[in-house]
Structure formats: C-alpha cells, structure tokens
Amino acid sequence: MKHIFLNLKRFDVPRELGGVNGIAPIASWGSYIIEHTQEHLKAYDKDQVEFVMYFPEAHLIPALSALCPHSPVKVGCQGVYREDTSTGGNFGAFTTNRTANSVKALGCTAVIIGHCEERRDKAGVLAEAGVTDTAAVNRLLNKEIGAAVKAGLSVLYCIGETAEEQPRWQEVLEEQLTTGLKGVDRTRVTIAYEPVWAIGPGKVPPDEAYITKIGTFVKEVTGGMDVVYGGGLKTDNARMLASVPVMDGGLIALTRFAGEIGYYPDEYLEIIGTYMGK
C-alpha cells in the first residue's frame, strides 16, 4: 500500500493578510480542495494507494461535507491534545485544545502528529519552562499518538533530525521512534521522515542514497512499519521517490515552490500522477 499525504498548513490565509491563499474564498476553501481533487483520485486503485489530507481545524467541516459517496479522500486534522473525554470522566473541559474524540465526532479519520513545526513549538515551550530533557517532546507526542489511536484515528507520525543533530542521526531518530511509539498500536501509524536539516531556501535535499538509508533504518527499528518521505513530495522528486523500495509514499507540503507559492489542486494531481506513473 502506498500513502500520499497532504499537509495544508495555513494556506487558507488570504494574501492581503500575509498568507498565500488565492484559490478560493475562506468560507469555501476546504470544500473547494475536496471538490477539485476527489473525482480525479478515483482513477487510482484504493487497495494500492490511500490519499489523506490534513486541514486546519476551521476547514474540517466544509471539507468533510464535500466528500462524495465512496470518496478516495480521507480528511484529517493537524494534531490532537494528549488527553481526551471519557465516559464517566472528563466531559470536555479542554478549552483551546483539540481532542481526538472531538475531531472523530466531526468525521475525521486521521491526524498528523510530530511535524517539525509542532516539535519546534513544544521544544520552545519546554525550554521557556527550564526543561532540558530532550526526550520530553517525544513523550508528549507519544501521549498524543495514544489518544489519537484510542479515538480510532490513523496517525502520520513525523520524525527527523536538525542540522545540529545530523552527526548523531541514528540516536535521534531511534529515540523519536522508540519513545514516540511506546505502548501504541503501530498498525494505526505510518512514519514520515522529515530531513529538518534540509528544509528551507538554499538547502540541499537528501539524495536517493540518503533517503534509502533512512527508510531502511526506520524499518529496522520499527519492525517494518510503513515509512514515507516527509521532506516534500513534489513533481521534481516524485519519480525518484517512487523508485525507492523502502519508501511507501510521501507527504506533500507545497505544490508550487516559486512565484505564487502554496497549494494548487491541479499541481497536487500532477505530483500524484508522476509518483504513480500515470
């Protein structure tokens, strides 16, 4: 099974407010994306590839409402809280926090956890509190994964090393995997490798040999879990990534990297077609 994930980040913000959205009005942004992709994605065998899109929270309801019967698209959210409601327990006093049960109730079936932007945020909060234990972020993410799995969501768990961590990448990734996945049902989890050291303008992305090395390592540590390339699946690298046997798909973060950057449905479909060889 191949996995094509799409993280829509904050591409809903209009350009006049400093964002990059120019494809649809805010009220219809989520539904526009579903409506302009799902029919095309029916061309692919659902037993061979899955398509999951992670939306900012405000757009979950319109995105879910736009799903047609038997849609090939799965809709997910961008993170969940580490605690949740329970029958006879906490009824929902989680102000400002998005729980797994709440998004499950909306109709979501998936969540992305541990994205490098989330890791950076958590590390910053912990540092402000004087916490120096580098494994603390992984322990928090482990609780989030546990909550998501308990609610019935599938999880895309992101791992990756920074430039400072790259000399000891094996130690860093193994800690993220072993702590992050401790005690959870791994059949509900897919791993995404983000080369954090290579993300950003002017950075050189990892080559096929490096990606193969990482994918092999992740499968060895996890006992063969599916792993996708999370450094940005795009048209330029889709054929190469599709040829790497240990990689099971990719995470699309942008569809246009120059000019009017951001997400565009036609270019999303082009990336998928290139990766799938159609």
Alpha-carbon span 148 to 84, nearest angstrom:
9
Active site residues: 115, 194
Residue 201, CA distances (Å) to 9, 66, 150, 198, 217 in order? 18, 35, 38, 9, 27
The CA distance from 164 to 254, in Å, is: 25
Query: Do 100 and 147 meet the contact criterion of CB atoms below 8 Å apart?
Result: yes
3-class secondary structure, 263: coil
- Phi, psi torsion values for 232, nearest 5 degrees: 115, 95
Alpha helices, DSSP H only, in the chain? 29-35, 38-41, 60-65, 100-106, 116-128, 136-150, 169-180, 208-222, 235-242, 265-276
